[in-house]
Amino acid sequence: MSLDLGVEIDWSPAFHDFDPMAVVWHGNYLKYLEHARTALLQKFDYDYPQMRDSGYVWPIVDMRLKYVAPIEYGQGLRIRAEIVEYENRLVIDYRIRDAASGRVLTKARSVQVAVEIATREMAYVCPQVLWDKLGVRPQ
């Protein structure tokens, strides 16, 4: 049995997310990814308040997006966020798809590192609390 380290959410862009060309403005994609990332972290009971309570913050240190096709008004979306690395950093891959056809519209990846709140020092290995929450052992 494989462990599912992903989650999917459905999303419908609001009218104010669109630019004068009638497609979603590129900066709003980050907001959509954040909604998926939050749902993913909530799945493992390690959302931002739980991270803080465990003594760590997890800043994003790298974010990459590939715009494959535009998102148009009225288009339903399905956004998948999946943890693909968790030993030394938290790496999440994303796919934004058209909900009706499944066509990939955007690919993305975020990289987060653990920073101890008390010392403001970066941890070079993810803290045990992350592995416990995910139900995994370091690779």
Q: Rounded CA gap, 9 and 1, in Å?
A: 23
CB 99 within 8 Å of CB 76: yes
pLDDT recorded at residue 128: 94
Is the model's pLDDT at 105 over the cut of 80? yes
> Which amino acid appears at position 69 of this protein?
A
pLDDT single digits (tens) 20-53: 999 999 999 999 999 999 999 999 999 999 999 9
Is the CB of residue 15 less than 8 Å from the CB of residue 75? no
Euclidean distance between CA atoms 41 and 44, whole angstroms: 5
Q: What is the pLDDT of residues 77-100, one digit of tens each?
A: 999 999 999 999 999 999 999 999
Q: How confident is the model at residue 73 (pLDDT cuts 50, 70, 90)?
A: very high
What pTM does this model have? 0.94
| Residue 116 exposure: Cα atoms within 13 Å on the Cβ side | 10
Closest among 16, 8, 62, 17 to 35, alpha carbons compared? 8
- Mean local confidence (pLDDT), 123-132: 94
